[in-house]
Amino acid sequence: MATKTVFQAKLIKPKGSAEDVSPKNGKSFTLDEVYKLLDVQMVEVVRLKDGLILICDEEGLLHKDPVINKEATRLYQESAKTQSVGIVGNAILCSTKQFK
C-alpha cells in the first residue's frame, strides 16, 4: 500500500532562514499554534500554487520598522504574478490541508 507524502511545513524568517515546523496533532495547525509561531495577533492566509499557502502577519506593514521577508514575498509574487507590497515578518509555508 502506498503512503501519502505530507508536505513539510516551513517557518520562513525575514533574515532568510527557514525551519521545519509541524502541527502538534500531526495533521493541521491550530490558530493558537500559528499565532505563537509567527508572534502575531492577526493572521492572513495567502494562497499560492499547487495547494500551498503562506500564513503571515495581517498587520505586518503597520508595525514600526517592518522587516520584509524576501523569500515569502518572492513565493507570493511568483504565484500571483505581481510585484505588490512584500510579506512582513515570519511566515509559514504549508499545504492548505495543514491549516483549517
Note the pLDDT of residue 61: 87
Asked if 83 and 74 touch (Cβ cutoff 8 Å), the reply is no
pLDDT at 1 over 70: no
Among left, alpha and beta (phi > 0; psi -120 to 50; other), residue 75 is alpha
Total count of residues recorded for the chain: 100
pTM of the full predicted structure?
A: 0.89
> What are 84-95's pLDDT values in tens digits?
778 999 999 999
User: Residue range 3-20: average pLDDT?
Assistant: 86
